[in-house]
Amino acid sequence: MSIKTVHVPTADGVADGFAALPEGGGRHPGVLMYADGFGIRPVVRELAEELAGHGYYVLVPNYFYRHGPTPVVELPAYIGAETRPAVFAQVMPLIKAHTTDRVLSDAEAYLRYLAARPEVAAGPVAVTGYCVGGLLALRTAVAHPDQVAAVAAFHAPVGAVGPDDLARLTAEVHFGHAEGDMTPDALAEFDRNLAAAGIASTSEVYPGTVHGFTMSDTDSFDPAGLRRHWTRLLPLLARTLRTP
């Protein structure tokens, strides 16, 4: 795989980040990937490289760019129980400052960047994300139904998106929840709203997982949950994205 540093012009500056794509040239379906709240780091690069290995151009922006380039927060190599409080103390103000207006403004810039890349195939793209990045992915798909063919969010606070917004979706969607991410009542309400939207969708709790199960540099990591995530994400992209 090829990894390239990118700089995406936005309304508020320039978002740094990286793109992962197959070697050998050609055009590939585009995927916008949002990292979790800990931001860009080796495990996120590994996820993007794995996805690119299946034939996709994967753009991973630093959505905290307003606070500085990657790494915005210096993270330990492993985010365990003893370091998690200090890390959260640093990242939570960044997450709170990333308002919906900022999310939507940036999403427009990221999609515009993908559409202009010669390595990206014409047509709609997919958006995926982890933790708060999954919420950003969903908000991006809601705001740009004509440009997003698929959205996948994993252990994400997607319950924050209400029925009126879900009704605007046209993308096929998958939500992979950790046990405990949502209360049973909240999950049932979310699933009812998703069904009422009338789109192709799956929303499931991954058994035995806790929040953050895809991230191998945390105590939350669950190998079976990560494998299940790939068995849901890859077929979704294969069904929905146009190949050159």
* Active site members: 131, 181, 211
Residue whose entry in the numeric block shows the structure tokens 């380039």: 69
What is the C-alpha separation between 238 and 213, in angstroms, rounded?
A: 23
Task: Phi first, then psi: give them for residue 231, nearest 5 degrees.
Answer: -70, -15
CB–CB of 217/226 below 8 Å? no
3-state SS string over 113-172? HHHHCCCECCCCEEEEEECHHHHHHHHHHHHCCCCEEEEEEECCCHHHCCHHHHCCCCCE
**Torsion angle of alpha carbons 38, 42, 47, 52, nearest 10°?**
130
